[in-house]
Amino acid sequence: MSDPLRVGIAGLGTVGASVAQLLRQDAARLAQACGRDITIAAVCARDRGRDRGVDLGHARWYDDPAAMAASGDIDLVVELIGGEDGAARATVEAALGAGHHVVTANKALLAHHGVALARLAEKHAAGLYFEAAVAGGIPVIKALRESLAGNRISRVYGILNGTCNYILTRMEREGSDFSDVLADAQAKGYAEADPTFDIGGFDTAHKLAILTSLAFGTEIDLDSVYVEGITNIGPEDLAAADELGYRIKLLGVALVTETGIEQRVHPTMVAKRTPIAEIDGVTNAVAIDGHFVGEVMLVGPGAGGRATASAVVGDICDAARGIMVPPLRVPASELAPYQRAQMRAHEGGYYIRLSVYDRPGAFAAIAARMAEQGISLESIVQRAAHSPGSSEPKPVILITHETTEAQVREALDIIGADGHIERDPQMIRIEQA
């Protein structure tokens, strides 16, 4: 057998503790599979005394994770500190600079600095592994980087945030408001105390930016991701979607167009019959369109200690076996500059919910304004009975054919100025999944 692979774990929260448990509990099996022992040689965490369900007595404790990462005690550092800069970045840079492998679950770090870190890893002949950074336990990084390498990828899309999918699933089932479900999810520990990163779509955007680079061989460009979260989705939208044969999911979508790459995160209507529409609760799913294979969909747990530790330990095993590929599939120097797509027709059209004053001629005027902007309507439906003598606003749902967001917004601005609608309209893209 070769020398043991000496691992240093930076960050012993839920994921770090799960990684340590798995490495210890399954040490013999992993050693056999990898052809060498994997030992936890060093750890770094704030609280030394906490019971983490695993004996770490033999490991050397460090207070400074970057010092541990650069030390001669380890061959590989597992970075589970989190955050795009600070200690996490210092630790990863120190490890790579010393020629040590890095396994990280840190999507923010990679979304912001992934290309620079890949360059650093390649320069020092170190491995940079990050299966756990996107969709937790789903092996999507390896799938894109290695298993689907024979394909030209045209689109990647998926449900990449369990918190949002859990909230939308419960709103749909219970007919509840967003804020009520969020509060309950926080009370039960399914949503963070500060949920902005999840519900605002930013977590999905970080993950999508990483997938985009792997799928299309371009530099990571987080700033080019259009981001819209789920905070404006109401139970009335979920009910209307249901009646129209759709479900609403927060999707991250990246695709190649004639003019460049489009990356977007937003609530999306997907037809009920499609596999992505069936993904409920905290589960994640990623679909990849390859020119030879067709569509591949991966489904599984996107978060949590065990799922994330599963991905981390898979990466550690790759390092132990000496499997090293360019972190972003192609060498960092070969990555194409990111080229942002120009505005184009959205292939699936739009769902629009308006609060329309119930007056004769309102529908006709709205339809006319849409037509003036070149927008073709598939349907226009009032979702509440007319009350004689009252011009109280009533919900009206429009489904458009393919059009651009700019055209829809222009038409809605004009309809608003005409005085037919109350409040801001709701707009949700329909995706051909």
* Alpha helix (H) residue ranges in 43-155: 65-70, 86-97, 107-123, 140-142
Selected catalytic residue, list 107, 142, 207, 249? 207
433 binds ligand HSE (CB under 6 A): no
Q: Which of 161, 213, 218, 400 binds ligand HSE (CB under 6 A)?
A: 161
Task: Find the helix or strand (DSSP H, E) in which 409 lies.
Answer: helix 405-417
Stretch binding ligand HSE (CB under 6 A), from 157-165, 170-178, 286-294, 341-349: 157-165
Q: How many residues does the chain have?
A: 433
Instruction: Name residues whose C-beta falls within 8 Å of residue 417's C-beta, 6 or more positions apart in sequence.
Output: none
For ligand HSE, the closer CB: 62 or 178: 178
Which listed range, 159-167, 240-248, 322-330, 402-410, lies at the site for ligand HSE (CB under 6 A)?
A: 159-167
CB of 107 to ligand HSE, least distance (A): 6
Nearer to ligand HSE, 282 or 433 (CB): 282
- Nearest CB to ligand HSE, comparing residues 34 and 171: 171
Q: Which of residues 341-400 bind ligand HSE (CB under 6 A)?
A: none
Is residue 79 within the footprint of ligand HSE (CB under 6 A)? no
Choose the stretch contacting ligand HSE; rule: CB under 6 A; options: 3-11, 155-163, 332-340, 344-352.
Answer: 155-163
Closest CA to 213 of 135, 292, 114: 114
The interface region with ligand HSE, picked from 51-59, 161-169, 381-389, 402-410 by CB under 6 A, is 161-169
Q: Tell me if 303 contacts ligand HSE by CB under 6 A.
A: yes
CB of 165 to ligand HSE, least distance (A): 8
DSSP state of 342: P
- Decide whether 60 or 306 has the Cβ nearer to ligand HSE: 306
| Structure tokens belonging to residue 74 | 């380890």
Nearer to ligand HSE, 143 or 230 (CB): 230
Query: What single DSSP character describes residue 144?
Result: I
Distance CA 136, CA 130 (A): 10
From residue 432, give the alpha-carbon distance in Å to each of 218, 246, 296, 322, 369.
24, 11, 15, 41, 26
Q: How far apart are CA 120 and CA 131, in angstroms?
A: 18
Minimum CB separation of residue 10 from ligand HSE in Å reads 18
In this structure, what DSSP letter does residue 272 have?
Answer: T
Active site residue 207: yes
Backbone angles phi, psi at 232, to 5 degrees: -90, 0
Of 75, 79, 172, 198, the one binding ligand HSE (CB under 6 A) is: 198
What six digits make up the tokens of 338?
């990111």
d(CA 16, CA 35): 24
- Tell me whether residue 234 or residue 300 sits nearer to ligand HSE (CB atom): 300
Task: Give dist(CA 105, CA 90) in Å, integer.
Answer: 15
- The residues that are catalytic are 207
> Footprint of ligand HSE on this chain (CB under 6 A)?
161-163, 198, 203, 302-303
